[in-house]
Amino acid sequence: MHIEVIHNSKSIVAESFRTLRSNLQFSEFGKNIKIIVVTSANPNEGKSEVSINLAASLAQQGKRVIIIDADMRKPTQHKLTELNNTEGLSTFLLKKSGVDSINHLTINDVNLDVLTSGPVPPNPSEMLASSSMDETLKAFEDFYDYVIIDTPPLLAATDAQVLASISDATLLVVDIKKSKRRQIIEAKRRLDHAGARLLGVIMNKIDSHKDTYYYLSLIHI
């Protein structure tokens, strides 16, 4: 397991996530942001890595944080955190598992809860739009300081739009080397259509001295 902000806290990447954390907390909406969707226009733009590092960065402040892998089509968080995925969000929503499916990690004195995706269901969009998901988020909002949700790409499915519509803020991860302008515009259009609050765009995979780092450019809505 390697979470950059924890295992390499002095790196450019870790510093960029601390900047991202500060931008979130001190934005004009900061006090009202608890549930944050992290998505992208296309697959493989780095949204899952951004999600786990953002969650860990917030947890480093002593905040109670849970990251939810809501990408039930191509789940990644269980791989990044080296966790078992036989139970998770899908079984939790179907009430086939309870709070014991939430994994409690302590890494270098940083406490972070992780709810993996669970087995891939036949109807991810319907599950995420269900009253059970809404109730789950409300319960987590009451217990945690921050709920970070890793969702599928916007152009691949409607799942991210569904969750963005009931979340406090959305971050759009963009691979600066691969993403096309029209794809980014279409992704933003879909978020706008869902009534999402797009807080910022994270420009990912910018090379600096042969290192990769993340940069947050806030978009004021």
pLDDT tens track, the chain, 221 positions:
789 889 988 888 888 888 889 888 887 665 689 999 999 999 999 999 999 999 999 999 999 999 999 999 999 999 999 999 999 999 999 999 999 999 999 999 999 999 999 999 999 999 999 999 999 999 999 999 999 999 999 999 999 999 999 999 999 999 888 889 999 999 999 999 999 999 889 987 666 555 544 454 444 43
> H/E element holding 106?
strand 103-107
What was the pLDDT predicted at 30? 59
What was the pLDDT predicted at 89? 97
CATH label, 4-218, candidates 3.40.50.980, 3.40.50.300, 1.10.1040.10, 3.40.50.720: 3.40.50.300
What was the pLDDT predicted at 178? 85
Residues 6+ apart with CB under 8 A from 122: none
In degrees, rounded to 5, the angle at the alpha carbon of residue 38 between the alpha carbons of residues 36 and 44 is 170
What was the pLDDT predicted at 220? 42
In degrees, rounded to 5, the angle at the alpha carbon of residue 72 between the alpha carbons of residues 156 and 70 is 95
What was the pLDDT predicted at 183? 95
Distance, CA of 85 to chain centre: 17
d(CA 174, CA 139): 31
- Distance between first and last Cα of the chain: 36
